[in-house]
Amino acid sequence: MICNSCNYRGTCSYIGENIYFSYRDECYIQHIHECLNEWNNIYLKYLNALSRIVKAEKEDVNVIVKTSLLLHDAGKLAKIYQRKVMSEVLNFDEGETTSKNVLKGFKHEVLGSIYTFKVLRDLKLDKEIPYIASWAVLLHHEAMRRKIKPEHLLTGIDDDVIDQNAVILLRSLLKDNLHLNLNANTLNTDKNEIGRIIDWLFKYIYQNQAKHILRMKISSLQHIVCFCDVRAANRIRRGEVTSPYFREVMRVFIDP
């Protein structure tokens, strides 16, 4: 059982219940905890700079980053992604070919971005914050220079893309780590709402007169999310960074 090898077995309240995977032999909760640990390791070094860049109080920046980290991989809770992981486990020798066929173009970062937007909007921070954080999550696997078309982001998404057990898990993680008691509908969504929010995100960044400054803000938070994500994954999987973009981000934070 995956729980047997988890670093958080002693304190986790989800052992054996509705286990969701973020990767082969990697529990979603384990990965999220490791991401938060990475932020805790570096936040004193970057909190002031992020506060100046996104023009938010340091306490709010901490909430923004933690919310983004808690939700950045929420799309991995989707039924289609869980089928993909199980396909990898059952067909390990076939590798990426099998898993990509299962996903059929589904991008897990889209749902993470949508949830991040909805939660931060409910917190009523500066109106720009949900857009900045949502774009950072949406791009945490991509460099900003890469073109992303909104019509491609709905691939593989349907009205019941995430089941209610996964929604309950997300709500619990937000409550346990940020003491957030969310509106009952905040983490419920459907394809129409996802499409509307994607449209808002693209219009906000491409029609904004200060879009270059906005992109700088997004990129700053994006690098934090990416760094914590990669470090957390590598610690659990004992692997190496393979993506050129991830290597680029790691150099920013690690190289002298």
> Residue 178 half-sphere exposure, CB side, CA atoms within 13 Å?
25
pLDDT tens-digit series, residues 123-139: 988 889 999 999 999 98
Mean pLDDT (the chain) is 80
Interval 218-232 mean pLDDT: 88
pLDDT higher than 70, residue 95: no
Q: Is the pLDDT of residue 254 over 60?
A: no
Residue 249 pLDDT class (50, 70, 90 cuts): low
Q: What is the pTM of this model?
A: 0.85
pLDDT tens digits, 154-194 = 888 877 778 888 888 898 889 989 988 887 788 888 889 99
Please state the domain extents for the chain: 26-72+108-254
- CATH code for the part of the protein at 26-72+108-254: 1.10.3210.30
Residues in Cβ contact with 12 at an 8 Å cutoff, skipping those fewer than 6 apart: 3, 6, 29
